[in-house]
């Protein structure tokens, strides 16, 4: 169990981030950030976009809770410089998964730590994920489960899409939604937990 004397807030509605942070034994509260996520700027690099979104989410909550340590995070799936957000519908999910099929892509999570009396700390973690060449029928069956509809890149590695992934180079928890080892290390360096 990790003990902290300072209140930590996770600025996220993601059940996956909540579960991962809980695995570290850190006591925390959840305050969902009120910001609307704008689309990436034209030509914005995936890591820059993820970092900007994490900062926006954390800043909005830190403003409401100035005495707390606030952690914001945002994950994006990218093929080269192309950012894949959450699919709009089943056809969009199929487009994204077809693009990912048979190739390596990156999952980039931006993290923002706001602590009282300190400058915000923003960092990103990138993981390479390689998928099998997947038939359209298998992709359609996966999409029919509904799982892809609220996930960046239209898949959940901890769910049904686990059968599509052949290799991961980097942090597994990053692909799930929060680079846990890196987050805990940043908190420890700040002597927060």
Calculate the alpha carbon distances from 118 to 61, 77, 127, 187 in Å.
Answer: 15, 30, 28, 13
Catalytic sites, residue numbers:
74
d(CA 106, CA 81): 10
Tell me which DSSP letter residue 158 carries.
T
What is the helix (H) or strand (E) element at residue 180, kind and residue range? helix 180-189
- HEC string of 82-107 equals EEECCCCCHHHHHHHHHHHCCCEEEE
Written as six digits, the tokens of 87 are 């699919």
> How many Cβ atoms from other residues are within 10 Å of residue 38's Cβ?
10
Cα gap 115→71, rounded to integer Å = 9
Decide: 94 and 70 in contact? Cβ < 8 Å.
no
Q: How far apart are CA 47 and CA 58, in angstroms?
A: 16
């Amino acid at each position: 169990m990790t003990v902290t004397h300072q209140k930590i807030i996770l600025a996220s509605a993601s059940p996956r981030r909540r579960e991962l942070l809980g695995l570290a034994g850190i006591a925390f509260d959840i305050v969902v950030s009120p910001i609307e996520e704008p689309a990436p700027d034209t030509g914005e690099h995936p890591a820059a976009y993820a970092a900007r979104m994490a900062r926006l989410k954390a800043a909005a909550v830190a403003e409401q809770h100035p005495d707390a340590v606030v952690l914001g995070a945002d994950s994006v799936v990218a093929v080269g410089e192309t950012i894949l957000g959450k699919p709009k519908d089943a056809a969009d999910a199929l487009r994204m998964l077809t693009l990912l099929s048979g190739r390596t892509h990156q999952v980039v999570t931006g993290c923002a730590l706001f602590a009282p009396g300190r400058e915000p700390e923003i960092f990103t973690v990138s993981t390479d994920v390689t998928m099998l060449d997947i038939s359209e029928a298998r992709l359609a069956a996966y999409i029919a489960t509904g799982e892809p509809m609220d996930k960046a890149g239209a898949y959940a590695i901890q769910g049904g899409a686990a059968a599509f992934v052949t290799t991961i180079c980097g942090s597994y928890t990053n692909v799930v939604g929060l680079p846990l080892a890196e987050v805990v290390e940043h908190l420890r360096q700040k002597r927060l937990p």
